[in-house]
Amino acid sequence: MSELAFKSATELAGMIQAKEISALELLEHYLERVERFNPDLNAVIVLDVERARARAKEADAALARGEVWGPLHGVPMTIKESYNIAGLPTTNGRPDMKDNIAEIDALAVTRLKEAGVVIFGKTNVPLNLADFQSYNEVYGTTNSPWDLKRGPGGSSGGSAAVLAAGLCGFESGSDIGGSIRNPSHFCGVFGHKPTWGLLPPRGHALPGLLVQPDLSVIGPLARSAADLEAGVMAMAGPDELDGIGLKLDLPRPRHKKLGDYKVALWMNDAIAPVSKEVQDRVVAVGKTITAAGGMVDYGARPDFDAAEAHGIFRTLLWSAMAARTPDADFEKLLEAAGELSPDDRSGGAQMLRMQTITYHDRYTAHNKRMHLRWAWDAFFHDYDALIAPIMATPAFEHDHSDMGKRKITIDGEERPYWEQLFWAGMAVCSYLPSTVIPTGPNDEGLPIGVQIIGRQYGDLETIGLAKLLEAEGYAFTPPPGYE
């Protein structure tokens, strides 16, 4: 039965519709696995068992009547803690929000239910969704199923861990600085950061917040590329306000076989050096495309300065993240920024200035970002995708020290912790879709993923390329010990 646990969501939905297994039986299978494996992982931190059992029974009864709710009919799933589900807590890992119980479902949750899923729990996050790890004072620390001494990534770390360990059929997370993609890479699963705004995030928020934050997106994690497409299509499309005049019409993949693709590789950069083994996986994907008859360019880049682009992203990111800060804490940031010496160019001082910039300065950064977006647009007239790392190394050991002092060791050299935002930010800053595919474990048994970046609204195109590469062996591999 362990093979059942690791099937893709679309395969599981097919089995339910073919009546090879009932939705209730599949739910009980995953609940048993959560009971057995979650104590060590601490990935599922809220359970909603009785409502899930009732919905699974409804799914089976509907199927008996010949009704199929949607492409994920009856598939049991968990979801990132930051999504509102009526009757369940949404805390973002903040102790002051531990008693915050959502009154209504997030729009994405409603749409996933319309696609047929059975949601039975929520998965762990870091404090304020702001770390490459997933731990907080409310729910504790989540461990990687590949090595309990290591983290599963963040902020959708619980999402990636449960998928890799075979504790659910499907997941959905969010991403502003790699929060879908670095956990996917660390845990060896597929993940998709959509085009900004494609999946309305209403209800992926704490009370009273309705504005979609700049840069931030919600999106699926899964054990297959086909599942990513199912998740995107379930959650995508304008909300009620925009839907009056807008409709969803995503372009389909332009090519049907790998040999028709022309891609660029960005293997490494002095701004954020990447380990040799991660670079080698990017090159391996390029060689797979070349072997199929496709074209690979190892030097092509969009027409902008990478360091300047990263500076624009950091300005937009840290000011957007500061907008999530409680009022009292933001006042402290303002005070600290006001006390800075004009000559203080330290990293902490620069971050404070970015967190508290004026609207004028943020508008200036936004205008510079528009130049980047047009440069990417020109680039994708010549190339179907850009393939790059998402993080410099496989998953690292837990590190709960002061964030400003953390380091990541890359081929024996210590580098700044937040430097890795460079690879996440390439797609985030310019609102581009990015799909992470697994490339298999390394010699230490730790997964490595790479990201496929595409043109704006080319979400089905990057996922389409991921499907073709999955067929060539870039597929999910279960971690040992979860049979």
Name the residues annotated as catalytic.
80, 155, 179
Closest CA to 139 of 120, 154, 124: 124
Alpha-carbon distances of 184 from 2, 78, 458, rounded to whole Å: 21, 15, 20
Amino acid at position 273, single letter: P
Q: Residue 404 contacts by C-beta under 8 Å, 6 or more apart in sequence?
A: 347, 348
Closest CA to 141 of 399, 402, 481, 417: 399
SS3 assignment, position 120: strand
Q: Tell me how crowded residue 415 is: count the other CB atoms within 10 A of its CB.
A: 17
- What is the Cα–Cα distance from 287 to 281, expressed in whole angstroms? 10
- What is the Cα–Cα distance from 32 to 20, expressed in whole angstroms? 19
Amino acid at position 229, single letter: E
Instruction: State both tokens at 226.
Output: 């086909």
- What is the Cα–Cα distance from 119 to 367, expressed in whole angstroms? 41
Alpha-carbon distances of 54 from 26, 46, 86, rounded to whole Å: 13, 17, 15
- What is the Cα–Cα distance from 228 to 403, expressed in whole angstroms? 32
SS3 assignment, position 346: coil
SS3 assignment, position 113: helix
Is residue 173 within 8 A of residue 218, CB to CB? The reply is yes
Q: What sign does the dihedral 128-132-138-139 (CA atoms) show?
A: positive
Is residue 348 within 8 A of residue 404, CB to CB? The reply is yes
- What is the Cα–Cα distance from 184 to 40, expressed in whole angstroms? 19
Closest CA to 179 of 352, 323, 414, 391: 391
| Sequential DSSP letters for 170-229 | -EEEEESSSTTHHHHHHHT-EEEEPPTTSS--TTSSSTT--SPPSS-EEEEEESSHHHHH
**Residue 414 DSSP class:** E
Is residue 147 within 8 A of residue 99, CB to CB? The reply is no
Give counts: helices (H), strands (E), the chain.
15, 15
